[in-house]
Amino acid sequence: MISPAPLQTLLRDSRLAPHLRAVAQKVAQGERITEAEGLLLYEEAPLGFLGTLANHVREQKHGDNTYFNRNFHIEPTNVCLYTCTFCSYSRRIKKREDGWEYTIEDMLDIVRKYDGQPVTEVHIVGGVLPQYDVPFYTELFQRIHAHRPDLHIKALTPVEYHYIFKKAKISYEEGMRLMQEAGLQSMPGGGAEIFAPEIRDQIAGGKCSGEEWLRIHEIWHELGGRSNATMLYGHIEEYHHRVDHLEKLRALQDKTGGFQTYIPLKFRNENNELSHLPEVSVIEDLRNYAIGRIYLDNFDHVKAYWPMIGRTTAQLSLAFGVNDIDGTIDDTTRIYSMAGGEKHPAMSTEDLVKMIRSVGRRPIERDTLYGVIKDYTDAEFADDKAYRGYTSLPVV
Ligand code: V47
Ligand code: SF4
C-alpha cells in the first residue's frame, strides 16, 4: 500500500521540531487543531509530516475504504451573467452565440439517455441566467424525479439559489423548501471559492457573499438536506485565507452536521482571466488535501475530484487524507476541460476500481449519501493482473 509512516513512528523522531510535534500529538489524541496551528501547517509543515497526520485521520475514520459513485452531470448553460475571473467555462452574456442554453426538454433527454443504466446521481450546475428561475428549476427537478425517482438529484449552489430567490422576492428558507418539495435531494459544494471578501470580491465579485453561501447551506441542513463544501485554492489567495475558509466550514459543521464532503478545487489556469498565474505544484495539492483532512475533524469525507486534479494526483491523494474520488462522470462536464483538466472526463466502474485498488485501498461504490452499494475489493475483471501487485510502495 502507498502509505506514509505511522504517526507513532513520527512522534518518536527526536528531530521533529517542537511546534510541529505539539500538533502531531494533538492529532494522535484526536484533538482539534486551532487556526494558528492550521496556519503553521500551511507555512511550515513538510509533505511527509502532513501525509502521516492526514493518513492517520483518514484511516481512523475509514480504514482503507475509498468511495466512488456512478454519476453524470447536466450543465444547463455555459452562459453566465457573472464574470468570475477564474472561470474558463462561462461565455459572457455578450458572447452568447458561443454558448448553449438547454431547455427542460433538452435536459430530460440527457436523463433519458441513462434509462436502464446503473447511475445513481445527477449533478446539475452551470451558469446563472435570468430565464433559469424558481419555476424553471422546480419544474426541472419535478420532471426528473417523476421520470426516474431512484436518481438522486444533487443540484445548484448558493450562487444560483441566492440569485433566483432574490429575483422571486422569497426568503432563502421558503426557496429551499420549494426546491426540496420539487425533488432536490442534495446540494453540491460549488460556489464557495474563498470566503474572505478581500479575495472573493476580486475573483467572484457580484455573486453571493461567503456569509450568504454559508447561510443557504445552514438553512438546507436545517431542512434535513445534505451538502458538500469546496475551496478554490492556488490563485491569488494567501494561506491565512485558506485557514479562514476552513474555519468557517468547521464552525458551520459544528452547528448543523449537514456537510458530507470537503472538496478542495485546484485553480486551473487555461482560458480565463487569471491565466497569467502559474498553477500550484502537485506537492502543494497534496499538502492542501492533507491540511483539509487534519483541520476538518468534523467532516466525514474528503474528496479528490479526478477530472480536475488528474488521475495520478487523485491516486496519490489517497495517502494524504482523501477517501473519495467522485464518479464515472461519463464525459458530461465541461467546467474543467475548458480550464485545463481532462478533455473528455469519463471513467468506467472498472477504471475507478482499478485506480483505487492499485494503491492498495478498498474501492467501495456508494450512493450520494454514502450508503454502500458494492465493495469491489475482490471483484474480478478480465485483465486484473495489470493492476495488482504494486502494493507496499512507501511514498514518504
Ligand atoms: O464553484 C471553476 C470551480 C466549481 C475553475 O459537490 C474552477 O460533489 C478550478 O463545485 N479552476 C464547480 N476550479 C464544481 C464543483 C464540484 C465539482 C465536483 C464535485 C462537487 C461536489 C462539486 O468549480 C466552482 C469553482 O470553484 N471552478 N473554474 C478553474 N478554472
Ligand atoms: Fe458564472 Fe459560475 Fe463561472 Fe462564476 S464560476 S462566471 S458564477 S459559471
Say which CATH number the domain at 114 has. Answer: 3.20.20.70
Atom of ligand 2 nearest to the CA of 204: 4
Q: Is there a single domain that holds both residue 36 and residue 57?
A: yes
Beta bridge partners of 365: 68, 374
**Which of 124, 176, 125, 133 has the alpha carbon at shortest distance from 151?**
124
pLDDT at residue number 149: 97
Q: Is there a single domain that holds both residue 46 and residue 94?
A: no
- Lowest mean pLDDT: which of 42-46, 229-233, 330-334? 330-334
| Nearest ligand atom owner, CA of 268 | 1
Q: Is there a single domain that holds both residue 44 and residue 184?
A: no
Distance from C-alpha of 56 to C-alpha of 68, rounded to nearest angstrom? 21
Answer for the pair 366, 353: CB distance below 8 angstroms, yes or no. Answer: no
Pocket test of ligand 2: the residue of 78, 79, 80, 209 to mutate, having most ligand atoms within 8 Å of its CB, is 80
Answer for the pair 368, 121: CB distance below 8 angstroms, yes or no. Answer: yes
What are the angstrom distances between the C-alpha of 40 and each of 232, 292, 346?
20, 13, 38
Answer for the pair 165, 216: CB distance below 8 angstroms, yes or no. Answer: no
In this prediction, residues 22-27 reach a mean pLDDT of 97
Is the C-beta atom of 87 inside 6 A of ligand 2? Answer: yes
Phi and psi at residue 372, in whole multiples of 5°? -75, 125
Q: Is there a single domain that holds both residue 58 and residue 82?
A: no
Assess whether pLDDT exceeds 60 at residue 388. no
In this prediction, residues 234-246 reach a mean pLDDT of 98
Dig out the grid coordinates for 338 from the structure.
475548458
pLDDT at residue number 226: 98
pLDDT at residue number 2: 56
Length of the chain (residues): 396
Ligand 1 mean position, distance from CA 192 (Å): 9
Ligand 1 mean position, distance from CA 87 (Å): 9
Q: Is there a single domain that holds both residue 322 and residue 352?
A: yes
Residue 174: band (very low, low, confident or very high) from pLDDT cuts 50, 70, 90: very high
pLDDT at residue number 93: 60
Residue 37 counted as domain residue: yes
| Nearest ligand atom owner, CA of 162 | 2
193 assigned to a ligand binding site: yes
Atom of ligand 1 nearest to the CA of 228: 6
pLDDT at residue number 136: 98
Is the C-beta atom of 310 inside 6 A of ligand 1? Answer: no
Burial of 384 (0-12, 13-18, 19+ CB in 10 A): middle
Assess whether pLDDT exceeds 70 at residue 94. no
pLDDT at residue number 384: 62
Atom of ligand 2 nearest to the CA of 207: 7
Count of the separate structural domains present in the chain = 2
Atom of ligand 2 nearest to the CA of 126: 8
Residue 392 counted as domain residue: no
Answer for the pair 301, 317: CB distance below 8 angstroms, yes or no. Answer: no
Query: What's the maximum distance between 2 C-alpha atoms anywhere in the chain?
Result: 65
Distance from C-alpha of 138 to C-alpha of 142, rounded to nearest angstrom? 6
Residue 133 counted as domain residue: yes
Assess whether pLDDT exceeds 60 at residue 385. no
Residue 221 counted as domain residue: yes
Q: Is there a single domain that holds both residue 40 and residue 77?
A: no
pLDDT, tens digit (0-9, with 9 covering 90-100), for 300-316: 999 999 989 999 999 99
Ligand 2 mean position, distance from CA 350 (Å): 33
Distance from C-alpha of 320 to C-alpha of 322, rounded to nearest angstrom? 6
Is the C-beta atom of 305 inside 6 A of ligand 1? Answer: yes
For residue 32, count other CB atoms closer than 10 A to its CB: 14
Residue 339 counted as domain residue: yes
Beta bridge partners of 67: 324, 364
Distance from C-alpha of 357 to C-alpha of 110, rounded to nearest angstrom? 31
Domain final residue pick, 62, 83, 103: 62
Residue 270 CB partners (closer than 8 Å, separation 6+): 88, 338, 339, 340
| Nearest ligand atom owner, CA of 155 | 1
Distance from C-alpha of 109 to C-alpha of 122, rounded to nearest angstrom? 13
Q: Is there a single domain that holds both residue 210 and residue 356?
A: yes
Q: Is there a single domain that holds both residue 233 and residue 375?
A: yes
- Lowest mean pLDDT: which of 4-13, 67-76, 237-246, 341-350? 341-350
pLDDT, tens digit (0-9, with 9 covering 90-100), for 136-149: 999 999 999 999 99
Residue 308 counted as domain residue: yes
- The residue ranking higher by pLDDT, 341 or 375, is 375
Is the C-beta atom of 264 inside 6 A of ligand 1? Answer: no
pLDDT at residue number 391: 47
| Nearest ligand atom owner, CA of 157 | 1
Dig out the grid coordinates for 372 from the structure.
454502500
Residue 2 counted as domain residue: no
Q: Is there a single domain that holds both residue 80 and residue 32?
A: no
Answer for the pair 123, 72: CB distance below 8 angstroms, yes or no. Answer: yes
Distance from C-alpha of 279 to C-alpha of 269, rounded to nearest angstrom? 6
pLDDT, tens digit (0-9, with 9 covering 90-100), for 264-289: 999 999 989 999 999 999 999 999 99
Q: Is there a single domain that holds both residue 76 and residue 216?
A: yes
Burial of 335 (0-12, 13-18, 19+ CB in 10 A): buried
Q: Is there a single domain that holds both residue 83 and residue 52?
A: no
Ligand 1 mean position, distance from CA 242 (Å): 16
CA end-to-end distance (rounded Å), the chain = 12
Domain final residue pick, 62, 92, 107: 62
Assess whether pLDDT exceeds 50 at residue 389. no
Distance from C-alpha of 65 to C-alpha of 68, rounded to nearest angstrom? 10
Distance from C-alpha of 306 to C-alpha of 313, rounded to nearest angstrom? 8
- In angstroms and rounded to an integer, the radius of gyration of the C-alpha atoms of the chain is 21
Which domain range does residue 52 map to? Answer: 7-62
86 assigned to a ligand binding site: yes
Residue 393 counted as domain residue: no
E-state strands within the chain:
65-69, 71-74, 79-80, 91-92, 121-124, 152-155, 186-187, 226-233, 259-266, 301-302, 324-327, 362-366, 372-375
Ligand 2 mean position, distance from CA 197 (Å): 17
273 assigned to a ligand binding site: no
Beta bridge partners of 154: 123, 186
Assess whether pLDDT exceeds 60 at residue 396. no
Domain final residue pick, 62, 84, 108: 62
E-state strands within 111-245:
121-124, 152-155, 186-187, 226-233
Ligand 1 mean position, distance from CA 50 (Å): 24
Is the C-beta atom of 38 inside 6 A of ligand 1? Answer: no
Phi and psi at residue 219, in whole multiples of 5°? -65, -40
Percent of the chain with pLDDT over 70: 94
Is the C-beta atom of 127 inside 6 A of ligand 2? Answer: yes
Q: Is there a single domain that holds both residue 40 and residue 147?
A: no
